[in-house]
Structure 1
Amino acid sequence: MGTTAAVVLAAGGGRRFEGEGHKLLAPFRGSTVVTQAVQAAVDAGLDEVVVVVGAIDVRAVLPAGVTVVDNPRWAEGQATSLQVARQAVAAAGHDAMVVGLGDQPLIEPAAWAAVAASTSPIAVATYDGQRRNPVRLAEEVWPLLPSEGDEGARSLIRGRSDLVEAVPCPGTPVDIDTQEDLRRWS
């Protein structure tokens, strides 16, 4: 049996979050948005947690023991962060990765674990029937991931629906993209 890494993409610029500071470092339920998101991945108990950073350095607020990798091309879109994650996960010898976002602090550890437990090449968390993160990607589909643009695995999921398993999950998959989102969900 192979190993699975949790990957949290936290490299974006957070353009829509108007106000002081970056959305990932915004106070959220006793910590920060990114701390909550990464802690859920840690608490899921996968073999390693990899956090991809770029626009800002969030290392100071991350839980101990996570692996941080830099994406110098973060401004070119989410696909570049996914490729950085893919390289790090492959170099560590994992054969699957479960990918989530640093601005989704209400995804529960149980969602990470449920998606990781799938044996399908692609597994997508669903909440009340809606597809969201996290997404499990087996090594066999990594070559099919986009290398440019601001879309991660969505294009792969659309193009290869025959490989996708929907996994019902607990939690609230909201993104904290704006000040309004932060006020609503804090």
Structure 2
Amino acid sequence: MLAGIVLAAGAGHRYGRPKALVRLNGTLLVSRAVETLRSAGCRPVIVVLGAAADAVCTSADLAGAVPAVNPDWATGMGSSLRVGLAAVGTSPADAAAVLLVDMPGIGPAAVRRVAAGADRRTLAAASYVDGRPGHPVVLGRAHWTAVAASATGDTGARDYLRAHPDQLRLVPCGDVADPTDLDRPGDLARFPEPDRFAGLARFPEPDRFAGLDRLIEGGGSGGASARTVATG
């Protein structure tokens, strides 16, 4: 059983407002992320909120999802990951797929691919340019306690994944997802079409991947000790 966690608690300082409340093609990013995980078969889907949590709950379509408010959201995404893992810990799920709210180019196909065959021991991440790890990330239940303990500030699970490269499975997803994250309003122009995310590969410039330190997508160097699986 696969649970889903949407991390959507940030204030979006560079963007100018919480990204959960940003609309793309008429749909709030948080609603899009929830639907991505639900369409991929995740049950339950936990949405971790913080900044403007009340406004998100009022404005967004969170049908089928469970909001979990992070009172310490201002400390960074690490605390939001801890809240999300604690919430799915009450479910019977064997693993959890983690997705950031500001990555609308990641759809159900990528989640299903990375989560294929997931069990309690799974550590898996999508890979894109040069084999670097990215979202979505799938964490097996056996790792949740240790991941939560290592999640501090904006580090999230990065240090834990780097400490376990032999267990990390990298899954190429460049043909079904776009890992672009929306940092500023102008970034919306990269996603002009509603169906842009159905399966077409689009790659941002290579140096966008040089400092993948945001929560989990920086969770490993993609080096020789990490295993990459073919997508066939």
Q: TM-score, normalised by structure 2?
A: 0.73
1:126-146 CA-partner distances (Å, limit 9, x unpaired): 124332111011111112212
| Counterpart in the other structure of 1:125 | 126
Computed over aligned residues only, the root mean square deviation of the Cα atoms, in angstroms, reads 1.6
| Counterpart in the other structure of 1:141 | 143
1:46-72 CA-partner distances (Å, limit 9, x unpaired): 222111101122223133111111110
| Counterpart in the other structure of 1:155 | 159
1:15 and 2:13 correspond: yes
Provide the secondary structure at the position in 2 that maps to 1:91.
Answer: coil
Task: Check whether the contact 1:132–1:173 (CA below 8 A) recurs between aligned residues.
Answer: yes
Task: Pick closer, same or farther for the CA change 1:185–1:160 going to 2, 3 Å.
Answer: same
Task: Check whether the contact 1:37–1:106 (CA below 8 A) recurs between aligned residues.
Answer: no
Provide the secondary structure at the position in 2 that maps to 1:92.
Answer: coil
2 CA distance for matches of 1:147 and 1:123? 17
Query: How much does 1:162 deviate?
Result: 1.0
Alignment match of 1:47 (pick from 39, 43, 62): 43
1 CA distance for matches of 2:190 and 2:112? 27
Alignment match of 2:184 (pick from 145, 159, 178): 178
Quick check: which has more Rg, 1 or 2?
2
Q: TM-score, normalised by structure 1?
A: 0.90
User: What 5-or-longer segments of structure 2 have no aligned partner?
Assistant: 193-232
Task: Check whether the contact 2:47–2:65 (CA below 8 A) recurs between aligned residues.
Answer: yes
Aligned letter for 2:2? T
Task: Check whether the contact 2:6–2:48 (CA below 8 A) recurs between aligned residues.
Answer: yes
Moved over 6 A (4+): none
2 CA distance for matches of 1:143 and 1:5? 16
2 CA distance for matches of 1:95 and 1:71? 23
2 CA distance for matches of 1:183 and 1:157? 32
1:12-65 CA-partner distances (Å, limit 9, x unpaired): 1111113xx433212202212222222111111122211110112222313311
Aligned letter for 1:140? A
2 CA distance for matches of 1:73 and 1:166? 31
1:168 and 2:166 correspond: no
1 CA distance for matches of 2:9 and 2:92? 23
Equivalent residues, number: 182
Aligned letter for 1:96? A
Alignment match of 1:26 (pick from 22, 31, 34): 22
Aligned letter for 2:4? A
